[in-house]
Amino acid sequence: MNVICIEEKAFLTLIGEVIKYVKSAMEPDNSDKWMDKKEAKRLLRIKSDTTLQKLRDEGQIRYSQPEKKHILYDRDSINAYLEAHAMEPFDIK
């Protein structure tokens, strides 16, 4: 059996890097401007297709429809929608 000894500081640095790597691997790829229905619902934290369609129909979020049954949603407009509906906490004195 081989035993590897390293300093505590090096061990903690290694653990920190492993944690960052695992977190980045588990996060969805947010680099694409357009997302599908599943990702849009996840970002909005809704489960209903009807609610997503309502937001689309009311012009609350931007979308693109390159094909008849293929609708993509604009990530920036969803983030803007969420920011526009964010509530500031009350300032209690």
pTM comes to 0.62
Look at residue 27 and tell me if it is in a domain: no
Number of folded domains that form the chain: 1
Q: Look at residue 3 and tell me if it is in a domain.
A: no
pLDDT, tens digit, for every residue of 11-70?
999 999 999 888 877 776 556 889 999 999 999 999 999 999 999 999 999 999 999 999
Domain range for 56 is 35-84
User: For 77, which DSSP code?
Assistant: H
Q: Give the pLDDT confidence score for residue 28 in this predicted structure.
A: 62
Q: Is 75 a domain residue?
A: yes
